[in-house]
Amino acid sequence: MQKYLFIVGFIIVFSFSASAQAPVNPTMPVKTKKDSLQEKRDSVKSKPFVPKINSIPRIYHPDSTHSPTKAWNRSVFVPGWGQVYNHQYWKVPIIYTGLTLLAIMYRYNENAYSEDLTLYRYLHTGTAPKLGDKYYDLYNLYSTHGVTDVTVGNAVRSYERYRDLAVLLFAASWGIQTIDAYVDAKFQHSYSMDNDFNVGIRPTLMNNPVYAQNLSSAFIPGIKLTFTLR
């Protein structure tokens, strides 16, 4: 009998001790196995993030409605149209100035090439244009000054090279302005650009290189270009 009373007393004392160490709050929900699994899934799905810093002023923010494809297509058909679409109007005069100069370069060299090629044929074959022909006066001028067909032939090849170079540069300039429009549109579409960039240009003096040490001046003038990224 005493043995059973001892066991019952031990169980009662143990129950009171456990309840004192871990009191149950009736308002606190009991965590189940399902809740533990959900917390584990949430911890796997959550990704680290960096808080946004708004202290740096922005020129523009990403704009998903700004289409790089539209900028590309417009610049392909009309030079500078893509830059207008990107609101970079200051680039349009630069584009048209460059293309106009290249067109003038082509026109000049093409005319000089055609003119000297005709004169070269006259001098090379030993024939002369008739009075009233287009190149009659120029042929007599060349003949009077002793200009040979070799000299005129060299000039013909030189004009031909510069004419072809003008065509290549014109095509390259057209392509570059197209790429420029696409890249700028892509940045506006996908990225934020800071104005935290500075360019400085100022005159400076540089030491003479080794091969120019015999010059009277110890320094030569120059221009210093500085890029600052903060």
Using one digit for the tens of pLDDT, what is the confidence trace for 12-24? 544 544 444 444 4
CA 103 to chain centre: 25
Cβ atoms of 180 and 91 closer than 8 Å: yes
Instruction: Note the pLDDT of residue 25.
Output: 47
Least confident of 39-48, 55-64, 70-79, 221-230: 39-48
Query: Which of these, 71, 69, 76, lies nearest to 171 by C-alpha position?
Result: 76
Report helix, strand or coil for 14: helix
Burial of 219 from C-beta contacts in 10 A (0-12 / 13-18 / 19+): exposed
Instruction: Enter the DSSP assignment of 23.
Output: P
Percent of the chain with pLDDT over 90: 35
**How far, in Å, are 51, 85, 198, 224 from residue 194 at the CA level?**
17, 20, 11, 24
Question: When comparing pLDDT for 24 and 128, which is higher?
Answer: 128
Query: Which of these, 112, 111, 133, lies nearest to 122 by C-alpha position?
Result: 133
Q: What is the mean pLDDT of residues 100-126?
A: 92
Instruction: Note the pLDDT of residue 178.
Output: 96
pLDDT above 90: residue 103:
yes
Q: What is the mean pLDDT of residues 175-199?
A: 80
Neighbours of 88 (CB within 10 A): 16
Q: What are phi and psi of 130, to 5 degrees?
A: -80, 160
CA 107 to chain centre: 31
Instruction: Enter the DSSP assignment of 210.
Output: G
Any alpha helices (H) in 128-209, and if so which ranges?
136-144, 149-190
Partners of 71 in the β-ladder: none
Q: What is the mean pLDDT of residues 82-88?
A: 93
Instruction: Note the pLDDT of residue 50.
Output: 44
Least confident of 91-95, 101-105, 195-199: 195-199
Instruction: Note the pLDDT of residue 133.
Output: 81
Instruction: Note the pLDDT of residue 175.
Output: 95
pTM of the predicted protein model: 0.57
Instruction: Note the pLDDT of residue 23.
Output: 46
Question: When comparing pLDDT for 198 and 167, which is higher?
Answer: 167
Instruction: Enter the DSSP assignment of 55.
Output: S
Instruction: Note the pLDDT of residue 127.
Output: 84
Of the pLDDT bands very low, low, confident and very high (cuts 50, 70, 90), residue 65 is: confident
